[in-house]
Amino acid sequence: MKVLHHPDRADIQLSSVLYALSDPIRLYLVSELYKAGERACGEFEVPVVKSTVSHHARTLREAGVVNVRIHGTMRFLSIRIDDLEARFPGLLMSVLQAYDSSGEPAFPS
C-alpha cells in the first residue's frame, strides 16, 4: 500500500495553508468536508475531472489542511481541524465563515 506524506503539525506552514485555500475548488472541498465530515474523493460534485480532484486533494494534504485515508481503491478526506487550530487559532473558521457569507458562486464561470 502506498504511504501518503502528511506534514507533522509543527511543519504546517501558514503560506502553504493559505495557498491551498486560495483555489475556489479546494476551498469548496474544505467547506464541504467541514459541513459533512469525512468523504471519499469521488463524492464531490465539482466541474472538473477526477484527476484534477486528486491534484486538489494532494495540494490540500501536502499543505496540512486535510488528512487522506486510503481504504482499498478509495481515498477518504477529512480536515485536520485540531492541527490547524493548534498552529493557527481561528484561521480555518475565519476562512470558512468568510467563504460561506461571501455569496460567491462555488465555481467561477
Give the range of the structural domain holding residue 17, as residue numbers without chain letter: 12-101
Number of compact structural domains in the chain: 1
Q: Would the pLDDT of 50 be above 80?
A: yes
Does some domain include residue 6? no
What pLDDT score does 14 carry? 97
**Residues 46, 109: Cα–Cα separation, whole Å:** 13
3-state SS class at 103: coil
Give residue 91's pLDDT band: very low, low, confident or very high (50, 70, 90).
very high
Beta strands in the chain (DSSP E): 39-40, 66-71, 74-79
Comparing 42 with 105, which gets the higher pLDDT? 42
The reply to whether 56 falls in a domain is: yes
| Calpha distance 70→83 (Å, rounded) | 20
| Cα of 11 vs its chain's centroid, Å | 17
In a domain, 7, yes or no: no
Say how far apart CA 13 and CA 38 lie, in whole Å. 23
Q: Is residue 2 part of a domain?
A: no
Q: Is residue 1 part of a domain?
A: no
- CATH number, domain containing residue 86: 1.10.10.10
Residue 105 carries which DSSP code?
-
- pLDDT for residue 7: 95
More confident residue, 14 or 74: 14
